């Protein structure tokens, strides 16, 4: 019995245990320090709905053995291109959200294909290169946001009439486009049903995909590439497909994030967006080469829980806002922990 | 035999060209941008010499982990943070000038050693993913650094002077002035040649470090590190304590980065408490790669060529960008983009090379096996 408990503990991982315990502690303490629990829970649900798909974007690449997708910013950029072009082309209201997804898709497919091709060339070193592919693409797009001929007065700098602003308000466009659908309000709790349903739809899609023939092949490629090759699976093709899927999910993910947040953030904003998503899925129980939809859901709730709870609880308790520092240490510690786990996959 | 020799010779040419491609590309960028930027030669040389003195020591600290096969040490930021903590303390004790710098170095070394051991231990757990791990490590320790500097300093660690403390009573201000130390090292023994200030003492210190690295490569420990870098299993079979050697290489790198950061900050004259270290790793690594180094091979020559080329680009790009597009931000973004792109390209080249070598080795093995089988068969027949 004791051994069994120890084994489960070991599987679960000490950092994960600490983080879960910490969140529970925060939840218990919240009412005592005068924080409004319903508002807090409502915040967590909301932030979960914004970030869920970005975290979900990790799953296909982890499954095919490409490791954690530190190159998430590449997909985010496709999404941002879709968002800005949709506004530039004059779409408004909820329609602009649909248009943004449709416009972002070809970008995500092309960029994802190039990215996947690159990752196939450098098997074994994916994570480091993914990080820098993300950085290079974000800094390259920094120049492009200034140079591309955007004209919509809602997006460009008022004074010079060119170059996109760093933040663009989505008021009148797709602000709350999904969240507004079937929104439930009980007292202080408001649940963005539409966004959660959209996340559920995509998550179900990925789950179903992973159980198709191609999806099983993807898992096989991730767990044993040599075996997969011997079984006649096109390893490079499957890996590329997984990267394209991840990139597209990231593109959709950022659009969903924006509709909740209400603003498009350009320039350096996507720079570090991969790290919260990576640590969220790891906190949820994933490892470098294994991730499930459940990991995504649990991880996002835990991570966003800490992000929203720490500032209020800590502030009320010791009048010191240490949330930022705690967030950095917890999330980076989690990534470090995952990277140091021995994985048997040989490439 | 002859054909084999020819083949290796041609392969060498190709690899030399591939290695030199990044420096050549940078020479071209600089050659285009320098005239456009409209900077006078005097000013440009002055800037480059200043930046060489400022950055070379930091970049040299990257060489030792590369020797030990641990790739680019993104964890050099750890040393930089140790140095910043030391400098904050020393400036609170109001010890100025060269004694202050020496004291800062002395204070930084134990912190660097501790962080280095921690980092080395973690990297030993993540063999084969050293770079991404050291990269995340730098973020993790940045969190701890913020905890110390923003919350513990002034509340637990005594800080007397309000000039560096935040008004709320604990935590350090965004910038800490190092006026008492500003360019003290650079100005001691500085000489002026045709309007170009040369910080001789700084260069002497950098030269000493170069000599140390050259000497260190020949010592037993240096040889061990090279052996570990070549092949960990072989090194272990040869009786080398691989884990310990790797930790030592990271500790040395961290300590050197700490000293380098003191030199860097005395030149800058102030500490940007929460951001000075965050970019250091990236810019140093980019500069080293621009000098023609790769993830598994870097020389002192690469460091100096890299500093000159990278910082020339860094100085001229914003002005050239502003001239071409009329927007100064373009150049700013351009140089950031180039820094990242250089690292990306270098990493890709390293990984593809590694794969090519591995498959070549596999083919060789297969060929040797075939030949062996054939000879065995021949023997049987005879």
Instruction: Report whether pLDDT(B382) > 70.
Output: no
Q: Please judge whether B140 and A336 are an interchain contact, meaning their C-beta atoms are less than 8 angstroms apart.
A: yes
The token pair that represents A312 in the structure block: 């209020």
Taking residues A204-233, what's their average pLDDT? 87
The token pair that represents B369 in the structure block: 């096996």
Write out pLDDT tens, residues A181-193. Answer: 777 777 777 888 8
How high is the pLDDT of residue B162? 83
Q: Please judge whether B122 and A125 are an interchain contact, meaning their C-beta atoms are less than 8 angstroms apart.
A: no
* Portion of chain B with pLDDT greater than 90, in percent: 33
Residues of chain A positioned with their CB less than 8 A from the CB of B136: 332, 335-336, 339
Q: Please judge whether A135 and B334 are an interchain contact, meaning their C-beta atoms are less than 8 angstroms apart.
A: no
- Which residue, B46, B89, B39, B288, is CA-closest to B186? B46
B282, closest residue in chain A (CA to CA): A132
Any chain A CB within 8 A of the CB of B128? yes
Any chain A CB within 8 A of the CB of B152? no
Which range is least confidently modeled, A8-22, A199-213, B284-298? Answer: A8-22
pTM of the model: 0.85
Q: Please judge whether A275 and B354 are an interchain contact, meaning their C-beta atoms are less than 8 angstroms apart.
A: no
Write out pLDDT tens, residues B276-322. Answer: 888 888 889 888 988 888 888 888 999 999 999 888 888 888 888 77
Among A127, A143, A328, the residue with its CB nearest the CB of B143 is A328
User: Hey, CA dihedral for B182, B187, B192, B196, is it positive or negative?
Assistant: negative
Q: How far is A126 from chain B (nearest CA, A)?
A: 9
Band (B265; pLDDT cuts 50, 70, 90)? very high
How high is the pLDDT of residue B3? 43
- Chain centroid to Cα B355, Å, comes to 25
**Annotated domain spans of chain B:** 40-315
Cα(A285)–Cα(A294) distance, integer angstroms: 9
Instruction: Report whether pLDDT(B7) > 50.
Output: no
Locate all alpha helices (DSSP H) within A14-125, ordered by sequence: 14-32, 37-56, 59-63, 72-88, 93-121
A275, closest residue in chain B (CA to CA): B136
Sorted by sequence, the CB contacts under 8 Å of residue B60 that are 6+ apart come out as: B206, B209, B210, B213, B256, B260, B300, B303
Q: How far is B334 from chain A (nearest CA, A)?
A: 7
How high is the pLDDT of residue A1? 64
**Annotated domain spans of chain A:** 37-271
How high is the pLDDT of residue A88? 87
Q: Identify from B137, B143, B146 which residue to disrupt to test chain A contact, counting A C-beta atoms within 10 A and taking the largest count.
A: B143
A120, closest residue in chain B (CA to CA): B352
Ramachandran region, residue A320 (left: φ > 0; alpha: ψ -120 to 50; beta: rest): beta
Instruction: Report whether pLDDT(B56) > 90.
Output: yes
Q: Please judge whether A139 and B122 are an interchain contact, meaning their C-beta atoms are less than 8 angstroms apart.
A: no
**Per CATH, is B40-315 categorized as 1.10.3470?**
yes
Among A129, A340, A342, the residue with its CB nearest the CB of B347 is A129
Q: How far is CA A144 from CA A64, A247, B329, B343, in A?
A: 32, 20, 11, 20
Cα(B341)–Cα(B343) distance, integer angstroms: 5
Any chain A CB within 8 A of the CB of B334? yes
Any chain A CB within 8 A of the CB of B118? no
Q: How far is B8 from chain A (nearest CA, A)?
A: 24
Taking residues B34-39, what's their average pLDDT? 83
Taking residues B360-366, what's their average pLDDT? 78
Q: Please judge whether A325 and B137 are an interchain contact, meaning their C-beta atoms are less than 8 angstroms apart.
A: no
Which range is least confidently modeled, A195-204, A209-218, A228-237, A315-324? Answer: A315-324
Q: Please judge whether B136 and A163 are an interchain contact, meaning their C-beta atoms are less than 8 angstroms apart.
A: no
How high is the pLDDT of residue B259? 94
Band (B378; pLDDT cuts 50, 70, 90)? low
Instruction: Report whether pLDDT(B144) > 50.
Output: yes
Band (A9; pLDDT cuts 50, 70, 90)? low
Residues of chain A positioned with their CB less than 8 A from the CB of B135: 128, 131
Write out pLDDT tens, residues A325-342. Answer: 888 888 888 888 888 876
Element holding A149 (H helix, E strand): none
Prediction ipTM score: 0.83
Instruction: Report whether pLDDT(B2) > 50.
Output: no
Among A142, A324, A339, the residue with its CB nearest the CB of B129 is A339
Q: Please judge whether B143 and A275 are an interchain contact, meaning their C-beta atoms are less than 8 angstroms apart.
A: no
Cα(B290)–Cα(B302) distance, integer angstroms: 8
Write out pLDDT tens, residues A227-260. Answer: 888 888 888 888 899 999 999 999 999 999 988 8
CB atoms near residue B320 (< 10 Å): 25
Q: How far is B150 from chain A (nearest CA, A)?
A: 9
Helix pair A126-147, B328-381: axis angle to 10 deg: 150
Could you please report the per-residue DSSP string of B99-126?
HHHHHHHHHHHHHHHHHHHHHHHHHHHT
Sorted by sequence, the CB contacts under 8 Å of residue A183 that are 6+ apart come out as: A190, A191, A192, A193, A194
Band (B5; pLDDT cuts 50, 70, 90)? very low
Q: Please judge whether B341 and A322 are an interchain contact, meaning their C-beta atoms are less than 8 angstroms apart.
A: no
Taking residues A286-295, what's their average pLDDT? 83
Which range is least confidently modeled, A103-117, A122-136, B317-331? Answer: B317-331
- Which residue, A59, A68, A61, is CA-closest to A239? A61
Mean pLDDT of chain B: 85
How high is the pLDDT of residue B10? 52
Q: Identify from B73, B75, B139 which residue to disrupt to test chain A contact, counting A C-beta atoms within 10 A and taking the largest count.
A: B139
Instruction: Report whether pLDDT(B208) > 80.
Output: yes
Which range is least confidently modeled, A12-16, A255-259, A293-297, B65-69? Answer: A12-16
Q: Please judge whether B348 and A122 are an interchain contact, meaning their C-beta atoms are less than 8 angstroms apart.
A: yes
- Which residue, B47, B56, B48, B51, is CA-closest to B259? B56
């Amino acid at each position: 019995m004791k051994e069994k408990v120890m084994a489960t503990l070991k599987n679960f991982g000490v950092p994960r245990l600490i983080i879960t315990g910490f969140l529970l502690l925060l939840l218990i303490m919240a009412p005592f320090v005068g924080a409004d629990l319903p508002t807090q829970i409502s915040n967590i649900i909301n932030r979960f709905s914004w970030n869920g798909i970005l975290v979900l974007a990790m799953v296909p690449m982890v499954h095919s053995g490409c490791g954690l997708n530190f190159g998430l910013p590449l997909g985010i950029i496709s999404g941002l291109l879709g968002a800005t072009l949709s506004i530039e082309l004059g779409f408004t209201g909820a329609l602009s959200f649909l248009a943004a997804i449709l416009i972002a898709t070809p970008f995500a497919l092309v960029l994802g294909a190039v990215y996947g091709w690159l990752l196939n060339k450098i098997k074994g070193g994916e994570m480091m290169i993914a990080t820098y592919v993300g950085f290079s693409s974000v800094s390259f797009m920094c120049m492009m946001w200034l140079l591309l001929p955007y004209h919509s007065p809602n997006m460009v700098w008022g004074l010079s009439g060119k170059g996109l602003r760093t933040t663009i308000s989505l008021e009148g466009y797709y602000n709350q486009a999904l969240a507004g659908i079937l929104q439930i309000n009980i007292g202080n709790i408001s649940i963005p049903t539409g966004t959660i349903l959209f996340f559920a739809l995509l998550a179900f899609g990925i789950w179903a995909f992973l159980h198709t023939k191609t999806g099983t092949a993807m898992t096989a490629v991730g767990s044993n590439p040599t075996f997969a090759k011997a079984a006649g699976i096109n390893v490079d093709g499957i890996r590329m497909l997984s990267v394209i899927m991840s990139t597209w999910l990231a593109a959709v993910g950022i659009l969903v994030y924006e509709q909740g947040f209400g603003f498009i953030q350009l320039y350096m904003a996507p720079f570090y967006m991969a790290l919260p998503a990576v640590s969220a899925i790891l906190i949820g129980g994933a490892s470098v080469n294994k991730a499930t939809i459940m990991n995504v859901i649990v991880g996002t709730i835990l991570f966003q829980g800490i992000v929203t709870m720490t500032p209020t609880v800590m502030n009320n308790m010791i009048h010191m806002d240490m949330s930022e520092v705690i967030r950095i240490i917890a999330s980076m510690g989690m990534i470090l922990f995952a990277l140091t786990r021995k994985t048997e996959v040989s490439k | 035999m002859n054909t084999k020799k020819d083949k290796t010779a041609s392969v060498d040419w190709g690899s030399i060209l591939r290695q030199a491609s990044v420096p050549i590309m940078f020479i071209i960028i600089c050659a285009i941008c320098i005239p456009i930027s409209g900077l006078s030669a005097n000013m440009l040389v002055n800037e480059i010499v200043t930046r060489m003195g400022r950055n070379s020591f930091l970049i040299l600290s990257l060489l030792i982990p590369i020797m030990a096969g641990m790739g680019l040490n993104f964890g050099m930021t750890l040393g930089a943070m140790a140095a910043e903590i030391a400098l904050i303390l020393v400036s609170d004790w109001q010890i100025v000038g060269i004694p202050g710098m020496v004291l800062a170095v002395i204070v930084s070394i134990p912190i660097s050693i501790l962080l280095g051991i921690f980092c080395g231990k973690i990297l030993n757990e993540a063999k084969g993913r050293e770079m991404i791990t050291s990269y995340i490590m730098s973020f993790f320790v940045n969190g701890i650094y913020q905890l110390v500097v923003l919350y513990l300093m002034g509340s637990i660690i005594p800080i007397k002077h309000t000039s560096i403390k935040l008004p709320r009573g604990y935590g350090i201000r965004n910038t800490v002035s190092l006026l008492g130390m500003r360019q003290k090292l650079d100005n001691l023994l500085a000489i002026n040649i045709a309007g170009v200030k040369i910080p001789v003492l700084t260069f002497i210190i950098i030269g000493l470090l170069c000599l140390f690295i050259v000497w260190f490569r020949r010592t037993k420990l240096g040889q061990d590190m090279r052996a570990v870098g070549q092949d960990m299993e072989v090194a272990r079979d040869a009786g080398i304590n691989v884990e310990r050697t790797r930790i030592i290489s990271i500790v040395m790198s961290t300590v050197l980065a700490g000293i380098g950061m003191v030199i860097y900050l005395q030149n800058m004259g102030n500490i940007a408490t929460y951001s000075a270290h965050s970019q250091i790793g990236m810019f140093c690594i980019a500069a080293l790669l621009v000098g023609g180094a790769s993830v598994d091979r870097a020389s002192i020559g690469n460091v100096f060529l890299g500093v000159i080329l990278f910082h020339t680009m860094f100085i001229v790009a914003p002005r050239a960008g502003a001239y071409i597009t009329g927007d100064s931000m373009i150049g700013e973004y351009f140089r950031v983009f180039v820094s990242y792109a250089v690292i990306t390209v270098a990493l890709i080249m390293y990984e593809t090379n590694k794969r090519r070598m591995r498959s070549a080795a596999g083919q060789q093995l297969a060929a040797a096996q075939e030949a062996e089988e054939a000879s065995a068969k021949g023997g049987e027949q005879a």
